[in-house]
Amino acid sequence: MGKSIALFGTSADPPTIGHEKILEELSKIYAFTICYVSDNPSKKHQEDISIRSQLLRTLIEDLENPKILFNQSVSSQWAVESVKKCKKIYELNNLDFVIGSDLIKDIFYWKNFDKIIKQVTFFIILRDGYPVESNTLKMLETYDVKFKISSIKIPKISSSKLRLNFNYSNLPISLIDFVKKNNLYESTKLVE
């Protein structure tokens, strides 16, 4: 594999146009982006991981971009395990771990935080309303965390906001039929 590899794990509950934009932009930066769906231990998921995986796989297949790979076998609820699996499968030394700015302050409490910070560089995508605050930057520096702050601009949408105020326009086009046919996210109660 090429030298610049990103690992993008997400709850994808459901994947949004924000996920789609992130994937498109990562493919412009990295030789490959490896994606998977995970069960975040600090979140309550609406749909089962198998459904969310199918949704993300469908989105990635629809993008038809050979630089974006879906590999659910690297999934773990613990980032350190996903990184370990990914490095083993793809025989990697260097890996950028993609994370939203809304979650960056949580890494200090992750399982095996001390191990993961030696394994990856965090690629932080700024989310609207979640700046990387100066105290978080100081902590990243104190713990010698390698990180880059992305200039990627993403739509102002998240999976949780989409679930609260569902609107098909915030769902990638390739997922709309699947969501409707399988009555996901209470889609029968939703307006077009």
Distance from CA of residue 42 to its chain's centroid? Answer: 15
What CATH number did the domain enclosing 16 receive? 3.40.50.620
Q: pLDDT tens-digit profile of 83-92?
A: 999 999 999 9
Q: What is the pTM of this model?
A: 0.93
Q: pLDDT tens-digit profile of 135-183?
A: 999 999 999 999 999 999 999 988 988 888 888 899 999 999 999 999 8
Helix axes 49-63, 173-181, angle to 10 degrees: 150
In this predicted structure, what is the pLDDT of residue 150?
96
Residue 3 confidence (pLDDT) above 70: no
Q: What phi and psi values does residue 144 have, to the nearest 5 degrees?
A: 55, 45
User: Residue 114 belongs to what domain range?
Assistant: 5-189
CA–CA gap between residue 82 and residue 77 (Å, rounded): 8
In this predicted structure, what is the pLDDT of residue 190?
45
Total structural domains in the chain? 1
